[in-house]
Amino acid sequence: MQRTAGQTMLECHDLTRTYNEGPQDITVLDGLSLTVNAGERVAIVGSSGSGKTTLLNLLGGLDRPSRGEVRIAGESLLNLGETALGRFRNRHIGFVYQFHHLLAEFTAVENAALPLIVRGQRKKDAEASALRLLEKVGMAARGDHKPGELSGGERQRVAIARALVTDPSLVLMDEPTGNLDQHTAAGILALMDELAHTAACAFVIVTHDPALAAHQDRVLRLDDGRLSEQPREP
Ligand SMILES: Nc1ncnc2c1ncn2[C@@H]1O[C@H](COP(=O)(O)OP(=O)(O)OP(=O)(O)O)[C@@H](O)[C@H]1O
Ligand SMILES: [Mg+2]
């Protein structure tokens, strides 16, 4: 997709999510708004249980809001049925889950190639692209290993490669560097910078890591179901 830095990539208004399970309803997100431009990187911080994963799931079309709407690349997710939504996510969104969600039976290369296979690409081409991404996250030498043979941080890096392999417009990451040492995390940051600058990719990154948050263009705090701008440390 042709993207230009500064164009609106993600927009949501009045986003509300109430969970109706158990004896009482809990409203986790309450009339939240957010706009992210192409090429922009936004960090979301907030205490445990404040709703960060809930928010990413809504932004990524993995869950539906109780009220409000999410627009990505101009398209309202409300207008898409399940099949169309699946296709849209494959085309536009890269998702790095809080817990990596790799397929245990598949190797690192096969896992990273999967979104391209789903798209209908030939296995050989998809795996060549996957290997290029694995190289960028420092995992090329482990391409033939299955998740069970990899460390937590290595699995996380394979999950990052899988999220980026499709050249997504929007990348949503839930604690992407939680398991990574400083040097490896710096490599992932450099890759994100490159994608934001050269591919005008937009990022929304949930993190507890102050260094990762400070590296983004904006830091927003999720509190009481809404986002507010977090002032920069002097
Ligand atoms: N499917 C669900 N049903 C009911 N309640 C839920 C569900 N998913 C999340 N919650 C509740 O919503 C609140 C926010 O959860 P969420 O996972 O979004 O928090 P978080 O900010 O990502 O926390 P953490 O930093 O610990 O990952 C929590 O109180 C949680 O118990
Ligand atoms: Mg979470």
Residue 230: the pLDDT is 85
Residue 181: the pLDDT is 85
Q: DSSP secondary structure string, 25-44?
A: -EEEEEEEEEEEETT-EEEE
Q: Which residue ranges in the chain fall short of pLDDT 70?
A: 1-2, 233-234
- Integer Cα distance of 28 and 26 in angstroms: 6
Residue 231: the pLDDT is 77
Q: DSSP secondary structure string, 47-112?
A: -TTSSHHHHHHHHTTSS--SEEEEEETTEEGGG--HHHHHHHHHHHEEEE-SS----TTS-HHHHH
Residue 234: the pLDDT is 62
Any ligand 1 atom below 6 A from CB of 210: no
Q: What fold does the segment set 8-229 form as a domain?
A: Rossmann fold (3.40.50)
Q: Of the residues 53, 99, 175, which should be mutated to test ligand 1's pocket, given the most ligand atoms within 8 Å of the CB?
A: 53
Any ligand 1 atom below 6 A from CB of 233: no
Residue 22: the pLDDT is 79
Residue 178: the pLDDT is 80
- pLDDT tens sequence across 62-94: 999 999 999 999 999 999 999 999 999 999 999
Token representation of residue 233 = 């440390």
- CA 227 to centroid of ligand 1, rounded, Å: 16
- Integer Cα distance of 8 and 113 in angstroms: 28
Any ligand 1 atom below 6 A from CB of 21: yes
Residue 129: the pLDDT is 97
Separate counts of helices (H) and strands (E) for the chain: 7, 10
Residue 2: the pLDDT is 67
Token representation of residue 78 = 């409300």
Q: Are 196 and 41 in contact (CB under 8 A)?
A: yes
Query: Which residue has a Cα nearest atom 11 of ligand 1?
Result: 49
Give CB contacts under 8 A, 24+ apart, made by 138-142. 138/184, 138/187, 139/108, 142/108
Token representation of residue 191 = 């890759």
Domain ranges in the chain? Answer: 8-229
Q: What pTM was estimated for this model as a whole?
A: 0.93
- Assign 9 to helix, strand or coil: strand
- CA 22 to centroid of ligand 1, rounded, Å: 13
- pLDDT tens sequence across 104-113: 999 999 999 9
